[in-house]
Chains A and B, each alone.
Chain A
Amino acid sequence: MNVKQFSNVALLIVLPIFLFLMIFPTLVHAATGSGSFKKDTEIQISFGAPVDETWANDPANYRVFQKTDPDIEIPVTSITLSPRKTSAVLTFGEALNLSSEYEVQAKNVTSDGKVLGNVEFLVKKSEGQILFTIFLGAMLINNFVFTKYLGLCIFFGVSQKKETAIGMGITFTIVMVLSAVMCWALLTFVLQPLHLGFLQIIVFIGTVAIFVQAVDTILRKVNPYLFKKLGVFLVLIVTNCIILAVPLINADSGNGPFESLTLGLGAGLGFALALFLMSCVREKLELCRVPAMFKGLPIAFVVAGVFALSFLGFSGFSIF
């Protein structure tokens, strides 16, 4: 089994897991959502029956607030009723925080002159959307190599040849995903109940080191050929900053298991992408006439700078 076949197999394993993760939370939460964000200043709600236009266009009939603090009301600036009068779009003066939950209370909903009573709508992003945002953020928008400058040692070390770059990228992604989940579990079930939060650095790096050692030992027995291909990279992974930064970021922002996994996957794939791009350029650089004092690492740094500039184009990029 060569590296290319291995990469195909790894892709076949990772993709279904990821797709399942994207869809599964959406299925669970689909029943409760009755309103949705349209842009970051708009909320769409549907009433289920045609409502009176004069009632619907009065902003005083709506009360909108964040679920966490019900005391702070957000003023509605304008309302657009759909042609069939069954749904309305509320527009707000200020931008909403799309990662939190909002509640919309409609007072005395009237339909054909009859008062139907109060209706409440819960508006939030679905779990799948949040995960996808985290994934894209870690992979492209805040690429760990080009905008957070993590993992540079390995990035410059193994990006000389395309084949080693691909091998390293895949190994790293797998170790990253698994160790992100393991560190989350350790933090939630061991460190936090025992109030040992200050030990997280030691525990996380210990976990990663033990995990890498375990993979190394298992792979040596189970698949010696693959071990020969990837053995060196496995040991190098322990000194990669990203492998420690992702659990620390997860712990800081209080991410759950799915979020931790997605951040790990995004970081791993982003690193693999950066390695692959860089190795393509560096293979060509070998044949170019570079000034003698720029040979080797200095020109690689300048190339990385150009890449970082182009990755700046992703900033502010969002789908939902």
Chain B
Amino acid sequence: MSSNLKLIWNGLIPENPIFRLALSMCPAVAVTTSVENGLMLGLAVVFVQVFSSCTVSIFKSFIHPRIRIPAYVIVIALWVTVIDMILPVISPDVYKKVELFVKLIVVFAIIISRLELFASKEPLIPSFFDGLGMGFGFLFGLCLIGAIREFFGTGQLFGYDILGFNPLLIMVLPAGGFFVIGFIMAIFNWFEYKITGKIPTSGGAH
């Protein structure tokens, strides 16, 4: 059990998909103008990641290695279509804002890379927890960026007014997302430097 918890912790902080692996950046900047949007898309990603990890883990012996990428894409597309039908029923107005990105989960690099690196080799239970960890890491990243941008951009959190004025309007503009991610990544690097004493070589290549 402790190894499963370790898998979740691993996805949450040491291999956080957004700040450490730097995968699937598009939604991290695009939908995070408020916490609510980030939460919605994060939950969708958790769902798709967990279910496609399990599916691939179960059927891994039937997938020929040469056609594995198209096979993974089809599995992901299947679960994305399912969540794309569930979300509008749960919360129609938030869904409208993140609609395009829910459909684009198909091409999120984080999901296919976890299938390739983990679920295609490991049995069902660890794959489930790895998917859960990565999904929660993504959710955590989206919510953190969303909270910072919503608070500094509009002075609100979850739509409730806290400050009553707009301190830094640039945060909700396109440019703000890039700045916030750049600075959070730098902070993660700084923590790693303090803990391990090594200057980190940050980020994956894509």
Q: Which of B69, B100, B170 contacts A245 (CB 8 A)?
A: B100
CB-defined A-B contacts under 8 Å, sample of 21: A149-B29, A150-B104, A153-B109, A202-B74, A236-B206, A238-B73, A239-B109, A244-B106, A245-B100, A293-B186, A293-B189, A293-B193, A296-B201, A296-B202, A297-B202, A298-B186, A300-B182, A301-B179, A302-B183, A305-B177, A308-B174
Query: What chain B residues lie within 8 Å of A158 (beta carbons)?
Result: 206
| Cα–Cα distance between A240 and B69 once the two chains are bound (Å) | 14
Q: A292-B199, A293-B193, A301-B182 are in contact. Are A150 and B106 (CB under 8 A)?
A: no
Contact indicator A146/B174 (Cβ below 8 Å)? yes
The reply on A157 being an interface residue by CB < 8 A is yes
On A, residues with C-beta under 8 Å from B are 146-154, 156-158, 198-199, 201-202, 205-206, 209-210, 213, 236, 238-241, 243-245, 248-249, 291-302, 304-306, 308-309, 311-312
| Cα–Cα distance between A13 and B60 once the two chains are bound (Å) | 44
Closest residue of A by beta carbon distance from B77? A202
Q: Which of B22, B179, B183, B190 contacts A156 (CB 8 A)?
A: B22
Contact indicator A298/B183 (Cβ below 8 Å)? yes
Q: Which one of B73, B107, B189 has the highest number of Cβ atoms from chain A below 10 Å of its Cβ?
A: B107
Contact indicator B104/A296 (Cβ below 8 Å)? no
Closest residue of A by beta carbon distance from B187? A293
Q: Which of A201, A209, A294, A304 contacts B70 (CB 8 A)?
A: A209
- In residues 175-206 of chain B, which contact A (Cβ within 8 Å)? 175-179, 181-183, 185-187, 189-190, 193, 199-203, 205-206
Contact indicator A201/B106 (Cβ below 8 Å)? yes
Contact indicator B73/A302 (Cβ below 8 Å)? no
Query: What chain A residues lie within 8 Å of B201 (beta carbons)?
Result: 295-296
Contact indicator B69/A209 (Cβ below 8 Å)? yes
Contact indicator A248/B78 (Cβ below 8 Å)? no
| Cα–Cα distance between A202 and B72 once the two chains are bound (Å) | 12
The reply on B15 being an interface residue by CB < 8 A is no
Contact indicator A205/B182 (Cβ below 8 Å)? no
Contact indicator A309/B175 (Cβ below 8 Å)? yes
Q: A205-B73, A294-B182, A304-B178 are in contact. List 9 more A-B contacts (CB 8 A).
A: A149-B25, A149-B30, A157-B206, A206-B74, A240-B107, A298-B202, A301-B185, A305-B178, A311-B174
On B, residues with C-beta under 8 Å from A are 22-27, 29-30, 69-70, 73-74, 77-78, 80-81, 84-85, 100, 103-104, 106-107, 109, 112, 170, 173-179, 181-183, 185-187, 189-190, 193, 199-203, 205-206
Q: A148-B30, A156-B206 are in contact. Are A248 and B186 (CB under 8 A)?
A: no
Q: Tell me the total A-B contact number using a CB cutoff of 8 A.
A: 141
Q: Least Cβ distance of B50 to chain A in Å?
A: 19
Contact indicator B24/A201 (Cβ below 8 Å)? no
Contact indicator B26/A150 (Cβ below 8 Å)? yes
Q: A199-B81, A201-B77, A239-B109 are in contact. Are A299 and B182 (CB under 8 A)?
A: yes
At the interface, is chain A mostly helix, strand, loop or mixed?
helix
Q: Least Cβ distance of A149 to chain B in Å?
A: 4
Q: Least Cβ distance of A137 to chain B in Å?
A: 15
Q: Which of A153, A157, A240, A297 contacts B185 (CB 8 A)?
A: A297
| Cα–Cα distance between A308 and B175 once the two chains are bound (Å) | 5
| Cα–Cα distance between A24 and B84 once the two chains are bound (Å) | 39
Query: What chain A residues lie within 8 Å of B174 (beta carbons)?
Result: 146-147, 149, 308, 311-312
